Amino acid sequence: MLRAAHCWEAEDLIPRSPAMTAFRRTARLQQAHWRDDHGHPIGTQPYAPKPGQPARPVGSRIPLQYARTTGANMLSDAARAAARQRSDNKEPHQTFDHQRMWADLLSSEALAFNLFGDLAADLSRADAAVHKWFLDAPGTVCDVRFAHSPGRLDPSFLNSLRAFDAAFFLDRGDGTLGVVAVDVNYHERNKAETPRPDNLDLYGHVAERSRAFSRPNIARHQQRSDMCVLWLEHLLMQSMLQHDSGRWTWGRYLVVYPSGNVDVEDLTTRYRETLKDDTTFATITLEELLRRGGLPRTAVAAIRERYC
């Protein structure tokens, strides 16, 4: 079935994890069926082959030029508008895979636009949604951004290229902001990475000031680990709360993932165990996020049909 749908991909095989292998294969096949059911043409590897360049069909992709023109990877007009606005407005030093966002149906970046595009277009709806997710969230949502960093390669933050898939900013009414920094996952698997050695002192300083970690666990996170990216994005949010400007005075880092992604579930569970104070860290499954309300019914239905 996978081969017939052009969805038999070696990268979906996760050694010693049949559950994660099954999830990745099923998710890829589901996207291929969604593409076919909605009449979208099949994409390729590479995304945009040059004349004469060998290419093979990939069922979970759509052709890049078609994707850019139609915005077919986005499920609503608001999601398409948010994606185009973000694509057209670069942040300093950004690293942003435009091809994957537009043409890969497994893209978690595209899922972020599909989840939150309608909220970015209606801040009153965004405010209601954030307060459904977090009853203790202070202030009123005043902005929603995608693929956002407060400052890439900026040593006053984390001096890294890390960014959030989405960020909700809340006006606290006293001249300061709160932030809900969101990491959206879909097809991702756990992979070990190593923090930049020349940044370890800064990472350690931010981690210590956050009071969220014990010193032994800070040292643990400074080593190569599959928690590396999660730790760095959580620290990026913490660096905002510690910024000399005093602009941000409340924050939470939220990880969203589908219930079938056992890798992310395991990763976030183990990561939480390294925290001595987890008040700035939260997780929610995609399915639970949709159940809690706040998104338009049409968006919920479209997301469930495609991703759940």
Averaged pLDDT for residues 227-244? 98
Q: Is 0.75 topped by the overall pTM?
A: yes
- Would you place residue 96 in the very low, low, confident or very high pLDDT band (cuts 50, 70, 90)? confident
Q: What is the DSSP string of 190-243?
A: ---B---GGGHHHHHHHHHHHT-B-HHHHHHHTSSBTTHHHHHHHHHHHHHHT-
Of 62, 58, 53, 64, nearest to 9 (Cα)? Answer: 58
* 272-307: pLDDT as tens digits: 999 999 999 999 999 999 999 899 999 999 999 999
Number of neighbouring beta carbons within 10 Å of residue 170: 26
pLDDT score of 46: 97
Name the residue with tokens 């508008």. Answer: 81
pLDDT in tens, 263-277: 999 999 999 999 999
Local confidence band at 201 (pLDDT 50, 70, 90 cut-offs): very high
What's the sign of the alpha-carbon dihedral 275, 280, 281, 284?
positive
Could you report the per-residue pLDDT of 112-144, keeping only the tens digit for each? 999 999 999 999 999 999 999 999 999 999 999
Distance of alpha carbon 132 from alpha carbon 200, whole angstroms = 36
Mean pLDDT of 82-109: 96
Q: Give CA–CA dist 10/95, Å, rounded.
A: 26
Judge whether 178 and 248 are in contact, CB under 8 Å: yes
What percentage of the chain carries pLDDT values higher than 90?
A: 99
pLDDT at 103: 98
pLDDT of residue 42: 98
